[in-house]
Amino acid sequence: MQEQSVDRFPPVLRLLEKRQELADVDRGLQAQKEEFHTTMAALQHRWAQLEQKQQELKGSLVRFDQFLQDAEARRGLALRREAEERERADRREAEALRLRAQLEDLERERARLQRRLGRLEPCARLLERAREQLPEFQEVPELVARFEGLADTQAALQRAERGRRAELEASRSGLQRLRDAGQDELLALSRRRAELQEKLEAARERRLQWESKWIRIQSTAAEKTLLLGRTRMSALNLSQLACQHRRQPRTLAVEDTEGQLEQVKLFILDLSATLASLRQAEPRAAAS
């Protein structure tokens, strides 16, 4: 019995030990859970602080961005104002330079007019004396207007004279061109006349040559005609002799020279045949 009790105690002890270990593990886990929860709570608190700081930073960034935009706007406005002021200053400087140059031009013009006035002063006195001597002019401007009218008339007359001279010169040039053209045409006609004269002489020479050839042709034709007439007369006589020898009437026309020659030819052939037969008959007669 004691051995069985001893055998049963160790498993119980081991079970108690295991339970003790489990309890220790549970306490450790519980401690870790509490530590984890504490850590998570601290982390959440820290995260909340970070979120708050992030929101504060975002607000600060927005305010800083707005500050930068406002500063940039103020800077742009200041730059535009500075550019406008510079442009106005440049315009004022340019206007001052223009006015200074205009003033210098006016001073030079004033000096020039004063010099001209000094030069024209004797003319003015002369015009005044002329007006006094010409009672029909009440004021000097009337005298000046009259003088200007006369000057314009003189200028118009001079222009008209120059125009007439130009027309006269153009007429002279045209006449000279016509004369030159006439001379050229006369020279051309003279050359043409010489060429035609040469052609006429050549034509006369050719005419004389052709007349000489025509005379030779006519002379040759007359000789040929005479020879032809003699030949026809001979043919007619021979034809008549042949007809008389044969005691045949003349049946051919006088103008049929070819027929007459053919008739004479036949007569000669017949006569030749007759003579040949006679020559052959003579030896036979002598032999008999």
Q: What is the pLDDT of residues 140-160, one digit of tens each?
A: 566 567 667 777 888 888 888
**pTM score:** 0.27
**Is residue 159 assigned to a domain?**
yes
- Residue 183 structural domain: 143-197
Q: What is the pLDDT of residues 230-252, one digit of tens each?
A: 887 887 787 777 777 777 777 77
**Is residue 247 assigned to a domain?**
no
**Is residue 179 assigned to a domain?**
yes
**Is residue 216 assigned to a domain?**
no
Per the CB < 8 A criterion, the answer to whether 214 and 221 are in contact is no
**Is residue 191 assigned to a domain?**
yes
Which tokens sit at 93? Answer: 């400087």
**Is residue 163 assigned to a domain?**
yes
Number of domains in the chain: 1
**Is residue 124 assigned to a domain?**
no
**Is residue 178 assigned to a domain?**
yes
